[in-house]
């Protein structure tokens, strides 16, 4: 997909879905800001992959739950590349907690999850807006989740944060439409990334992976490469007529399994 002359920021792109999306845009010639919060080495490896893929990239540290850091991140893109076409709000967090354990989450947990999953994208869009509106086909892609559509996922705080991100996507698409800025969201189902490996270890990860296959009509458990295409579609000029859409990418998990009798 052609991204030549396009400049993109991908938050949380030193791993997983963000990494796949960044390298995918680099393959089309994009110039990227690879954002990381802690792992500079991993971010530099993604920068090297972007360059090897035919694009260009820099790594910038920023905690996107903090407004001042979001401003710095946008400024880094402008200082280096002088323009901004695409913002992918991918960084996310959770606290794993069974949904029936209401004592397991307190206000601070909600605030921490909301700070990154909802307020982070809002702050990024706010700071990016003056520059995006100067681009010929500006696009914001929020990485949400099936959690925000179906009410399933790692905790109620996470589910609610992604539901709120979906609602914000609709409102922002409407409010920024007159400036030609499109705002869409990709809502992945299960994706096999460090998200689960870091939380549960390899053995449990493999069990979750196998269970996902059993519970999707396509018998697929996704990886970052499966989410790359939907992100690149929304990011690219080819979807210039598309805004305010929530695209579920889940191999049919939302549909549920076929109904069987007997
Ligand atoms: P991941 O852990 O590889 O990616 C999350 C990224 O966010 C990491 O690179 C992490 O360093 C970064 N990050 C964390 N805190 C940050 C902060 N304060 N500032 C900047 N960056 C920060 O996992 P992933 O699965 O690739 O997740 C990416 C996105 O996809 C998240 O928004 C997540 O909610 C969403 N998602 C994941 C799945 C899944 O099954 N893995 C499903 C649906 C949605």
Confidence of residue 261 (pLDDT cuts 50, 70, 90): confident
pLDDT for residue 262 is more than 90 = no
CA of 119: how far to CAs of 24, 199, 202, in Å? Answer: 26, 23, 31
> Could you tell me where the DSSP H helices lie in the chain?
16-27, 40-53, 67-81, 107-114, 120-132, 147-150, 156-176, 194-214, 224-235
Q: pTM (2 decimals)? A: 0.98
Specify if 179 maps to a domain. yes
Q: Which residues are CB-contacts of 189 (< 8 A; sequence separation ≥ 6)?
A: 146, 212, 216, 222, 248, 249, 250, 251, 253, 254
43-57 pLDDT, tens digit each: 999 999 999 999 999
Q: How many CB atoms lie within 10 A of CB 79?
A: 11
Q: Does residue 187 line the site of ligand 1, with CB under 6 A?
A: no
85-114 pLDDT, tens digit each: 999 999 999 999 999 999 999 999 999 999
| Phi, then psi, of 181 in degrees rounded to 5 | -90, 120
d(CA 144, CA 123): 16
Confidence of residue 260 (pLDDT cuts 50, 70, 90): confident
Query: Domain count of the chain?
Result: 1
> Three-state SS for 44?
helix
For the chain, give the mean pLDDT.
97
| Distance from residue 195's CA to the centre of ligand 1 (Å) | 7
Alpha carbon nearest to ligand 1 atom 33, residue = 92
Specify if 76 maps to a domain. yes
Specify if 256 maps to a domain. no
Q: How many CB atoms lie within 10 A of CB 211?
A: 12
184-231 pLDDT, tens digit each: 999 999 999 989 999 999 999 999 999 999 999 999 999 999 999 999
Alpha carbon nearest to ligand 1 atom 38, residue = 191
d(CA 234, CA 231): 5
Contact assessment for residue 179 and residue 134, using Cβ atoms and an 8 Å cutoff? no
Specify if 196 maps to a domain. no
Specify if 75 maps to a domain. yes
| Distance from residue 260's CA to the centre of ligand 1 (Å) | 36
d(CA 226, CA 223): 5
pLDDT for residue 1 is more than 80 = yes
Percent pLDDT > 90 in the chain is 97
The domain of 81 spans 7-190+224-249
Specify if 261 maps to a domain. no
Question: Domain holding 21: CATH number?
Answer: 3.40.50.720
Specify if 167 maps to a domain. yes
Q: What residues pair up with 184 in beta bridges, in sequence order?
A: 141
Contact assessment for residue 239 and residue 233, using Cβ atoms and an 8 Å cutoff? yes
d(CA 111, CA 214): 34
| pLDDT computed for residue 48 by the predictor | 98
């Amino acid at each position: 997909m052609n991204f030549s002359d396009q400049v993109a920021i991908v938050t949380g792109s030193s791993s997983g879905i963000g990494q796949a999306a960044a390298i995918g845009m680099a393959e089309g010639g994009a110039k990227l800001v690879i954002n990381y919060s802690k792992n500079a080495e991993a971010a530099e490896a993604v920068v090297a992959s972007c360059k090897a893929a035919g694009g260009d990239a820099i790594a910038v540290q920023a905690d996107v739950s903090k407004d001042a850091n979001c401003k710095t991140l946008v400024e880094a893109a402008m200082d280096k590349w002088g323009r901004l076409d695409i913002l992918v709000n991918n960084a996310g967090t959770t606290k794993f907690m069974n949904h029936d354990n209401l004592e397991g989450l307190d206000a601070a947990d909600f605030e921490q999850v909301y700070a990154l999953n909802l307020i982070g994208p809002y702050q990024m869009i706010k700071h990016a807006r003056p520059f995006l509106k100067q681009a010929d086909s500006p696009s914001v892609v929020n990485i949400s989740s099936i959690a925000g559509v179906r009410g399933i996922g790692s905790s109620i705080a996470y589910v609610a944060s992604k539901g709120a991100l979906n609602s914000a996507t609709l409102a922002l698409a409407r409010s920024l439409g007159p400036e030609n800025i499109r705002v869409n969201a990709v809502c992945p189902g299960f994706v096999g990334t460090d998200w689960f490996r870091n939380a549960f270890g390899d053995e449990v990860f493999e069990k979750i992976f196998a269970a996902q296959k059993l519970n999707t009509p396509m018998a697929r458990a996704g990886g970052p490469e499966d989410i790359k295409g939907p992100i690149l579609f929304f990011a690219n000029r080819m979807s210039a007529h598309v805004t305010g859409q929530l695209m579920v990418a889940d191999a049919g998990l939302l549909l549920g399994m076929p109904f069987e009798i007997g």
